Amino acid sequence: MVIFTFAIIAIITWSLLLIPYVLWLRRSTFFFLQRGYLLGSLVIGLLNGVINILPQGKLNFGLVEMIKGDNFISDNLNFIISGITIGHGAVPETVWTTILAVYYIVSCILLAILAYKVLTLYMMARGNSSTYLNGMRIVESPQRHTPFSFFHLIFLSKENRPDAESLVPIVRHESTHTKQWHSMDIILTEILFVFTWFFPVVFLFKKYLTLIHEYLADAEVLKTMDTRIYGELLLSQQMGASVSVAHHFAKSELKSRFRKMVQTPTSGRHRLTYLSVLPFLLLSFIWAERIDLNAITAKVNNFNQQDDNPAISREIYITPEGQMRVVKKATGPDKYIPQYPGGQEALGKFIASNLKVDGYVKTKTKDVRVRLNFDSNGKIELITYLVPVLPEMELALNKVFNTMPAWIAPEIGGKPVRSEVVLPLQFNW
């Protein structure tokens, strides 16, 4: 779930930051600036995803207190369990489990394909003769393909080998890719695509970055070569196979490249237009923080409910001694309520005696709202924290819930059913 959540937040950020680039920023001739903007957008999306999936309090600096804290909660824990609600017939995480399974399977397949592509290029470089020109390693392969580069390697086809006059600008072009580490950009987008394939906005980043790489390489060649002659060379080399993770001399949108070759350089003052992305950046962070995957999960569970059964609501106060007092009466028959063995008093005593956290966690935790999903046998199958808690508190509570005896499942038509309990816990340390 964490990776999936991270991917969604990153996608939202990337989509918003891509809007100004597509609409107006890409029209300039600031190729280095454009590349920096796209790579920066990818990094910001990643950071936004990391920030928003971290539990609240993860970044605090209470480590010393956590290490030194040796006072654990005793049996006199004072807490409130209120608003218990039961959702009958729900199938918790059934759809989510399927969705996540498909997501991870497809991601693994895409990762394997990417690894295969990179390995294929490595084997091509290792299995064919090579020469060096101006410090660049040139690999000659028997396959018919356009000239292309991948990191420090330049691949030429023996069947489509350019003549000596054409070889110089081709090598100059591909060496620009190599020197500026353009392959690193492509690998980055390919890896990100592995985890965000279900909404492939990263594919657009790869497309625009690849085109910018060609603009940069073309500009380098045109410093020493006539535009018309270079254009004819591009056209003559455009036939042949291609490799998606490599930079091909004459495969990337020739029409766009020709337009950029003759475009008047953009005035320097137009760099200020990049300030227009600030509202989109702010909006991306706001939207990411509003994502509630727990709420999405709840909607999925509600969609999968098969029975219309009355919900039960009651408020229960458990004293430090484990005594119970019902504050609000139940609104339905007891058969719809999952019962803890021994009743509410036993539940209170079990949590109080088994929850163990240190003093630092006590100072940082006052309220916890947790949803427990039970299978038809009364065993807890899913624990969901509806509000962020410290990782140490979550771990401690999970130990308590996972060691609980099975609850008595509610019955419908004489058959036990799945159920759901929401426990708002208020701690008075």
Would you list the DSSP string of 16-47?
HHHHHHHHTGGGSS-HHHHHHHHHHHHHHHHH
* Cβ proximity of 183 and 280 under 8 Å: no
pLDDT of residue 36: 94
Q: Report whether pLDDT(163) > 50.
A: yes
Which range (143-147, 209-213, 322-326) has the least confidence? 322-326
For 19-30, what is the mean pLDDT? 90
pLDDT of residue 406: 92
Q: Is 261 or 4 the better-scoring residue by pLDDT?
A: 261
For 150-156, what is the mean pLDDT? 88
Return d(Cα 268, Cα 400) in angstroms, integer. Answer: 63
pLDDT of residue 69: 32
User: Is 277 in a helix, a strand, or coil?
Assistant: helix
Structure-token pair, residue 328: 């609000």
| Residue 341 exposure: Cα atoms within 13 Å on the Cβ side | 8
Return d(Cα 170, Cα 156) in angstroms, integer. Answer: 10
Which range (26-40, 251-265, 273-287, 367-381) has the least confidence? 273-287
Strands 411-412 and 415-416: antiparallel
Return d(Cα 211, Cα 255) in angstroms, integer. Answer: 11
Q: Report whether pLDDT(260) > 60.
A: yes
The winner for highest mean pLDDT among 119-133, 263-277, 307-321 is: 119-133
pLDDT of residue 252: 56
Return d(Cα 378, Cα 88) in angstroms, integer. Answer: 13
Residue 73 burial (CB count, 10 A): 20
Strands 247-248 and 415-416: unpaired
* Triad 85, 91, 94: Cα angle to 5°: 135
* Cβ proximity of 33 and 272 under 8 Å: no
pLDDT of residue 53: 65
Return d(Cα 239, Cα 146) in angstroms, integer. Answer: 6
The model carries a pTM of 0.59
Q: Report whether pLDDT(96) > 70.
A: no
Residues 130/133/138/144 CA torsion (nearest 10 deg): -110
pLDDT of residue 189: 95
Q: Report whether pLDDT(289) > 70.
A: no
DSSP category for residue 29: S
Contacts for 28 with CB less than 8 Å, ≥ 6 apart: 34, 266, 270, 273
For 127-137, what is the mean pLDDT? 80
Which range (102-106, 164-168, 291-295, 355-359) has the least confidence? 291-295
The winner for highest mean pLDDT among 190-204, 280-294, 359-373 is: 190-204
Checking 203-207 for CB contacts under 8 A at 24+ apart, the result is: 204/18, 204/22, 205/14, 205/18, 205/38, 205/41, 205/42
Q: Report whether pLDDT(200) > 60.
A: yes
Q: Which amino acid is at 187?
A: I
| Residue 301 exposure: Cα atoms within 13 Å on the Cβ side | 23
Q: Is 252 or 138 the better-scoring residue by pLDDT?
A: 138
Return d(Cα 322, Cα 79) in angstroms, integer. Answer: 10
For 195-212, what is the mean pLDDT? 91
User: Is 94 in a helix, a strand, or coil?
Assistant: helix
Q: Per-residue confidence at 184, pLDDT binned at 50, 70, 90?
A: very high
Return d(Cα 8, Cα 168) in angstroms, integer. Answer: 45
DSSP category for residue 275: G
pLDDT of residue 244: 65
Q: Which residue has the tokens 């803890």?
A: 340
Percent of the chain clearing pLDDT 70 (strictly above): 72
For 100-126, what is the mean pLDDT? 91
Structure-token pair, residue 410: 């509610």
Return d(Cα 335, Cα 284) in angstroms, integer. Answer: 47
For 114-131, what is the mean pLDDT? 89
Q: Per-residue confidence at 54, pLDDT binned at 50, 70, 90?
A: low
Q: What is the pLDDT of residues 382-410, one digit of tens each?
A: 888 888 888 888 888 899 999 999 998 88
* Cβ proximity of 368 and 389 under 8 Å: yes
| Residue closest to 86 by CA, chosen among 382, 344, 417, 429 | 417
Q: Is 177 exposed, middle or buried (0-12, 13-18, 19+ CB in 10 A)?
A: buried
pLDDT of residue 210: 93
Return d(Cα 49, Cα 3) in angstroms, integer. Answer: 9
Q: Report whether pLDDT(312) > 50.
A: no
Residue 109 burial (CB count, 10 A): 12
Residue 364 burial (CB count, 10 A): 18
Q: Report whether pLDDT(191) > 80.
A: yes
Q: Per-residue confidence at 76, pLDDT binned at 50, 70, 90?
A: very low
Residue 13 burial (CB count, 10 A): 27
pLDDT of residue 113: 95
For 224-250, what is the mean pLDDT? 74
